[in-house]
Structure formats: structure tokens, C-alpha cells
Structure 1
């Protein structure tokens, strides 16, 4: 089996971790696990530079709190949201503007909700950029389950890889199709 070489990006769907993708690629890489709720760009690069240039869009639901602080947990609390205005929301968000040195924590929406006088939980976390790869950019690949690393290398070079969410097979397409 030929080794997978180079750096490429995968559009990671929700419901699986980056480790799952790496396992299915049969390629050992030193990346931290990405929470299964996170979707978007996953740069497959074993170096420390893979942790640079991370940009996320977080979405949440106010008025409902879950045991896990995300949409997978059971409901533990509810609170009113009628008092929240656009101005109040923008003021609460001002505190969170700027660059941070970590992945947005699952507590982010809960923290915002507390500032707004309610409860909340994260419903989606989309990574839109990692290590210079941007979601939807030319270098982003849709990656499928890997049974043959040579097949993956060929598909990468041709730029024709599609992620099959069922993780059952690699589907390569011809750009002319």
C-alpha cells in the first residue's frame, strides 16, 4: 500500500470525529479528535500547523439547556427568551468578538445565554477554515471511506473525491461526468 502524501482538506460531516475519518483512510496522523458535532473543513496534516488558522461559525438555541450543552443531550432546563432584543444580543456578543486560542467551547452558547438572562445550548459548529483551507474552496475535498490508499491518491490528484456519509465506500468521480 502506497503512503498517502501531501496535505489536503476534507469536508467533515456531523456525526463522526476526525479520528473516524483518519481510521477509514487507514492513515495514522497526529490530529486531535474533533467533536462529532463539528462539521466543515478538516485538514489532514499531522503537523502542528494543522491547528493554526481555525475559523468557526457556532449556532445555538436559546431558551433550552441540555445535559451535554449541545443538541445531543437531554433537556434539563427551559427559560424565557421574549425579553431578548437584537440590541441586547449584539451587546452580549461583543464580549466574544476577536481571535481566540482554542476551538469554541461547547459552553459558548450557554455563556452567551447567561449574559442574556436565559439558558441555551449549541446546535451546530461549522469549521469554515483550517490551515488556509476554506470550506467550499478549490482545495476542499469530499472524502469517502478508504479501502485502497492508491485509489485515494489517484482521486486526490484528479481532484475528484466525494464523501459518502454512510462510510461504506470510496466514490470517485470523473470531472467530465
Structure 2
């Protein structure tokens, strides 16, 4: 069971709870996810199983897409429906044009302050834990990119919208900032992730559906995406059996013997004769005549 599993996370479960459920059900030793979803949120959770945990780093910085609902009139300390109400304000009449004009202010590169209730850490402690203890920490603003914002519907006090953004963008913060720009306050009441790191919700399994398949075929996890396919966005090079064996023993690889014609310093997939992923390598920046290992798969059965 080595590969990528796409799960449509239900509302009310944390990402860690979903990971634990899949791990227990299939008896997995190694499993992780490429990007947390808040418990109230639903949608695409990208799980890396078995040896695929070794390539999870290539998915963490990918773009994401969401569908969201902002409720005007009330602000909460968590910026979502799970928090306590901290502020109330009148709801102004807004037009689609006015909202689209506000959206333009938040499009492109922006600076954003992460919420106090988040998984970011301060001195090794998650911010949400500090906030629950009554010691909220405000991290400095950081740069994110909002590629597109689209208005879906206005049914006051709710405004539905979709967003395509860079990794690290907090939609809760974005929604609260929208409300302030409208002259009121608000919080996110619904959030659904539809895309993550090049994967789509359309290929995701409902969690219960996945567990039902497990009951039918206990020894096999369904719908796994092979690691080679999951890393399709990386350039690749095919090697013979001798070089494959050399890679598995961690021996030094020279540019001359594996990739002499491509001056590429980023990660490169290495495929064996059967087109299976055996490693991810990159040129040594200090000595470009040789490669460094990013990840080596145990037997090339990716």
C-alpha cells in the first residue's frame, strides 16, 4: 500500500482523525497528509501512504482551491462557526458589483496575518493550543497569492464565493477581511476544498465509501494513485537495471552517467526499465557534476 489516496473529508472530523481511521482500518505503519483541513471544513484531503510519505514534501507547497460561505454580522475568535462570538455589527446592503470590487483588492500577492487558532507553531507549540489556554499569539503577516476570486451567490447574511490560491492562504482570514472591507464583521461558516496540489475532489473517495471497500476487500486499499503518476509534474529520466541497483545502495551518481544533457537543479524523477519510480534526485548545487538523493524507494515498486 504505497501511493496517494484522495479522501473527501466529512465535516466534524479533524485531518488527524481521518489519518488515524485509515491507518487503523488498513493496518498501515506509515501515513501522512499533504495539508490540514479544519474540523468544520470538508473536501479534499491528500493522504500519502507507505513509502509515499517520502515524497509528501512535493505536495505541501501546491496551490489549492476552495468553495466558501461567509456569514456577515458576527465575528468569532476562531473566524469560523466553532468559536465564540466576539463582535456583532449591522449588515449593509451589498451588490454583486460592490463585492467584486472588494475581491479585486484581495487578488494577486497579498499580506495576510495567520489566525490565532491555527496549526502554525510558536516555540514548538501549535497556536490553537496557546489560544485555548488564554495565551493567543499573533504571528507576523506573511505573503500569499490569491490567483482568482469569484462570487457565487448572495443570500444575506451569507455570501458564497470560490477562491484559487497559493499554499498557506487562510480562507478564514480572507473571509473576515472581506467583511471588514464591507463595513461589517463576519466569519466563515462553510469551507470545502476542491483542489489540492494538482489533485481534484472529483477523484476523491467518500470516507465511508473507502471504509466500506475495506470491509469488502480487507487486504487491498482501493483507488491508490501510484507515486510516479502523482509526481507527473516533475521531469523524469529512465535508467537501466545497473543504475537502479546503484541507486538502491545509495552510491554516488554522476551527471555524466544519468542526466548529462539537462541542466536542471530541481527534483527529477528516476524511473526504472518498467517505468516505476525508484528515486527522486537533484543536482548538487555545490558540485553540479553529481546528484543528491531527495528520496529513495526501497525496491522500485512505486
Aligned-partner SS, 1:35 = coil
Give the C-alpha shift of residue 155 in structure 1.
5.2
Match of 2:12 among 15, 19, 39: 15
The total of aligned residue pairs comes to 153
Query: Any stretches of 5+ residues in structure 1 without a counterpart?
Result: 159-177
Q: Is the 8 A contact 1:44 1:50 kept in 2?
A: no
Match of 2:31 among 16, 29, 32: 29
Structure with the bigger percentage of strand: 2
Name the TM-score, length of structure 1 as normaliser.
Answer: 0.73
Match of 1:104 among 152, 164, 170: 170
Query: Any stretches of 5+ residues in structure 2 without a counterpart?
Result: 108-146, 148-164, 225-302
Give the C-alpha shift of residue 153 in structure 1.
5.6
CA distance in 2, matches of 1:42, 1:8: 8
Higher relative contact order (CA 8 A, sep 6+): 1
1:125 aligns with 2:134: no
Aligned-partner SS, 1:107 = helix
CA distance in 1, matches of 2:31, 2:97: 45
Larger Rg over CA atoms: 2
> Deviations along 1:89-109, whole A, 9 cap, x unmatched?
111111223243324342221
1:43 aligns with 2:40: no
Give the C-alpha shift of residue 74 in structure 1.
2.3
The alignment's C-alpha RMSD in Å is: 2.7
1:67-82 equivalences in 2 (<5 Å): 67-82=77-92
